[in-house]
Structure 1
Amino acid sequence: MADSSEESNRKGGHVGPDTQDPTLQPLDALSDVSESSSEVQEAKRVEVVTKGWCSSSSGYHSGIGTSEVSHGELVAYDVSLTCEEISDENDDSDWDEEEWPVDRPLPLPEWGCERPELNFGNLSQYESFIIHIQEHLHKALATQCYDTVSNFVVFGEEYVSQREEYPCLDEFYRDYDPPMLPGRYTCVGLACDLATKLSTLEAQYPGLKDATYQVSCEEEIDNVDWYCSTGVPPISTCEKEHVLVCIRIRISDRPGMLLLDPGYHVGEPITVMEDGLYPQSGIIRANTTKSNIIRTYQYHYIQDNPAFVVWEVLEERDGEVIHEHTSLIHTARPFLSGIDVAERRNLAYPFKTLLGREHTGKLKCGLYFPLRECSQTNITFFHYLDGLPHHTRVPLLYFAKSKDNADEEGMISPTVEAILATVANGSYRSIDDLRATLESLASLLQDQDFLEQLAQLDKAIDSISKDN
């Protein structure tokens, strides 16, 4: 699971580590970025009402709560990230030992019953269907960012506020019920949101809703044959850090799967046929933040075991292979633990990203950083200027003071403010909103005890899948 490239796919990462890149410029070297943010327009904002989108979690409930997946256009989460306390009377935090063994850092994953197929009489019908699916996928990519920063900040601030009751992070982590933050989704929320929007095609394609479900993915598998030796993943070694949308299909009596992966910014529907023949998808060019990295994906069924789809990842730089790995998608049954396992695992993952995408999945702007103590953390911002990618490292300490206080002390950089406005605009939030998140992050990462416990938790989770 160690990073092996400039832009790694290490489990749950979705973007690369904070390593040197030829396009990366330190703050004081970036002279070609406009110092004015007046040309950057704030994204369209819509009112979001958080309602009870059902989670299978059993634990501490934040005041934010889980959310109803959105049907809106550009979605922005514009309420305080501070959660209200919940009384002990509403605490249902007890996990059964069979659901979450006491010596395991994550709950055991659960799967539902096999879903029916969506049948197509011929290829022409399926090709028309794919056009409709791609329209919804493109809209989802263009209107939803990928965000693992916001849920981490909420989680961290909740723990700090509850430290008297939970001196040990492990205990709080077990009781915490991760919320879905509208407009600030990880792969879990993005998959759920897309699946809900696809349900509008039910009238045109009866049976689509029943054939559509979330599926789990285990990333970077070494022992593929062992992992796929039965019809279900080896539960005791599952991390299940990624989820996708799956539609079970049959075309002229030929079985297959249609996969959609908004969490990895895949801009086209992925067709995987058991016989490997058309309309089986070929090699798909993936999206990265680095112009000198070429990443490709390829998918196919495991031979003699249609319960799994192989996802092969290849990365090249200057024509040389720099990294390759195999991930496995369990497509046979719906994954019921998206929030309990995948979202929860993401909270402890030591690399965070916020990414704005175009409708094709191309990454247009964003930021990323490893989790370190505040004084040692640099936020890498990236955006496009005159069609060229620009990366700028900004010390997190820049956001350790409020803008008003920093302005009074003459510590505001027009260059950073312009970049911040660009990234905020591209991730569908206001500059004040993004700044508030980074200020909260700076405060949180000054808590050495929290960081040490978080690193231990991440290490324990990593150990679950060490033999995969």
Structure 2
Amino acid sequence: MASPAENLEEFFPKYNPPIRAHKHTCVGLGIETMKRLKVLENDFPGISKAMMLVSCDENIKDLDDYTTASPGPQGFLIETEKDHVMVCISIRVNGRPGVFLSDLGYHVSRVVTVMADRCYPHTGWFIQSDEPHSRKEYNYQLNLNNSNYVEWHERDTRGSTVNERLSLIYVAKPYLTAINVTEKRNLVWDLRSLLARNPKGHLIAGIYFPVKEKTQQFTIFFDGNNGKQRKKLKFESFLQLQKIPEELVNEVEQCNEQLRLRDGELLSTLNKLATIMADEEYVKELLAINSKVVELSAGH
């Protein structure tokens, strides 16, 4: 809003997003993880050199087409979103190649071992989350046609319905444009969330909402005095801080505490969000940029 650019479409290409402490997306979490793992260098010499950020394309439609197009993703970069990153460490176990993957952006609470031969200590399928309404299972394996890629399979079971998704992680080289591409791409993503999880990756509290024109509500959830609470609230209720009903303030404060934020921080964030979501022109421009990104990558 403060920039001299006339609109978001002009401003967005020039913007260099900062990586800020305690406000981490998958990019910030990956960078922070690598920083912390460097203390292992004394016990495991060479770990720092073997460690890198790697890129991931989600929702792959044609596995063979993608993995055989060229040795790496550069052959069709314009058609890939590169919308996720994680930490990768190349390993050898008695000469057998593999990788460790750490994906805090998707709240995977373990380091996943991916062996080329899919034998021990290969992780294989594991339960990522088991909620009453949804059970998610993940599996990571090196692609048999192109060992530069790890296939990430997700199985989501909801009652009798099973949905499957495939993503591809490029592990042959470090991903050098995580901030300029992935962090920036996710700024215009049309689903926003601020979440807290326990050490096993299970959701505790937070807020989330889809960005849509004229959609003026968000979901808040937390552990309340009467058990788990999940409510849809209207942004307009938070436009004027002094007029927010006391009941809402209490609920936001409970959620704030479970998000481990500073006193009043969530209320202040919701107040700013209410102002942004009320700006119809801004929301329209943001969704238009997101649509263009999706359209560009529709080839894969």
Name the TM tier (shorter chain): over 0.9
Is 1:413 equivalent to 2:254 in the alignment? no
Aligned residue for 2:89?
247
The percentage of counterpart residues that share the same residue type is 31
Aligned residue for 1:218?
57
Structure with a larger share of its residues in strand: 2
- SS of the residue aligned with 1:181? coil
Instruction: Return the match for 2:268 from 422, 436, 439.
Output: 436
Deviations 1:280-325 (A, max 9, x none): 112122238x63111111111111311000001111112431x211
- Extract unaligned runs of 5+ from structure 1: 1-159
Instruction: Return the match for 2:144 from 299, 303, 315.
Output: 303
Matched residue type, 1:275? D
Aligned residue for 2:170?
330
Deviations 1:342-394 (A, max 9, x none): 10000111110111011111111111001135x63211111235896431111
Instruction: After TM superposition, give the deviation of residue 168 of structure 1 in Å.
Output: 3.1
CA distance in 2, matches of 1:461, 1:178: 17
Question: Is the 8 Å Cα contact of residues 292 and 318 (structure 1) preserved in structure 2?
Answer: yes
Question: Is the 8 Å Cα contact of residues 249 and 267 (structure 2) preserved in structure 1?
Answer: no
Instruction: After TM superposition, give the deviation of residue 171 of structure 1 in Å.
Output: 1.9
- SS of the residue aligned with 1:429? coil
Matching of residues 251-330 of structure 1 within 5 Å: 251-287=93-129, 291-321=132-162, 323-330=163-170
Matched residue type, 2:125? I
Matched residue type, 1:174? P
Is 1:169 equivalent to 2:169 in the alignment? no
TM-score, normalization: structure 1?
0.61
Change (3 A) 1:388 1:273: farther
- SS of the residue aligned with 2:81? coil
Question: Is the 8 Å Cα contact of residues 256 and 274 (structure 1) preserved in structure 2?
Answer: yes
Instruction: After TM superposition, give the deviation of residue 240 of structure 1 in Å.
Output: 0.3
- SS of the residue aligned with 1:264? coil
Question: What value does the CA root-mean-square deviation take over the aligned residues?
Answer: 1.7
Question: Is the 8 Å Cα contact of residues 250 and 256 (structure 1) preserved in structure 2?
Answer: yes
TM-score, normalization: structure 2?
0.94
CA distance in 2, matches of 1:272, 1:306: 11
Deviations 1:192-246 (A, max 9, x none): 1011101111111100100011000000010111111122013121110000000
Matched residue type, 2:295? S
CA distance in 1, matches of 2:64, 2:226: 44
Deviations 1:121-158 (A, max 9, x none): xxxxxxxxxxxxxxxxxxxxxxxxxxxxxxxxxxxxxx
Q: Which has the higher contact order (CA 8 A, sep 6+)?
A: 1
CA distance in 1, matches of 2:64, 2:19: 35
Is 1:392 equivalent to 2:237 in the alignment? no
Question: Is the 8 Å Cα contact of residues 370 and 377 (structure 1) preserved in structure 2?
Answer: no
- Extract unaligned runs of 5+ from structure 2: none
Matching of residues 318-467 of structure 1 within 5 Å: 318-321=159-162, 323-373=163-213, 376-385=215-224, 389-402=228-241, 405-406=242-243, 411-414=244-247, 416-467=248-299
Question: Is the 8 Å Cα contact of residues 78 and 296 (structure 2) preserved in structure 1?
Answer: yes
Matching of residues 28-107 of structure 1 within 5 Å: none
CA distance in 1, matches of 2:289, 2:180: 16
CA distance in 2, matches of 1:387, 1:447: 36
CA distance in 2, matches of 1:382, 1:291: 15
Q: What is the number of equivalent residue pairs in this alignment?
A: 297
CA distance in 1, matches of 2:282, 2:36: 38
Question: Is the 8 Å Cα contact of residues 55 and 82 (structure 2) preserved in structure 1?
Answer: yes
